Amino acid sequence: MTDRELLEALYNDMQTLKQKVTGLEMMLENETNHNIQLLAENHMNLVDKLNQAIKVQDKSLLYEVQVSSLKMKVERLEKEIAEIKSKIA
């Protein structure tokens, strides 16, 4: 093989390699980036759902505190009514 033939073979190999690299770049750009975008969108949906769940949890805790307070008030009123009834009787 002559030097020229070797250079041409090397050039052809480089062109093939260049085409493969370009194909890989296109695949990364089109498929991988698209999939990453889908994952990011789903992640945002999960974050939104989590934020909504936290709000519900906060409201639930608030209601528990209110119910506890009302129970204490009812117990106090029951004691007062019992005391009044014992004084009257």
Q: How does pLDDT run along the chain (89 residues), one tens digit per residue?
A: 898 999 999 999 999 999 999 988 888 888 887 888 888 888 888 888 888 887 777 778 778 888 998 999 999 999 999 999 888 87
**CA 14 vs CA 20, 28, 48: distances in Å:** 10, 21, 49
pLDDT recorded at residue 1 = 81
pTM of the model as a whole: 0.42
Give the residue among 33, 52, 32 at the shortest CA–CA distance from 44. Answer: 52
2: left (phi over 0), alpha (psi -120 to 50) or beta: beta
pLDDT recorded at residue 75 = 93
From the number of C-beta atoms within 10 Å of its C-beta (0-12, 13-18, 19+), residue 18 rates as exposed
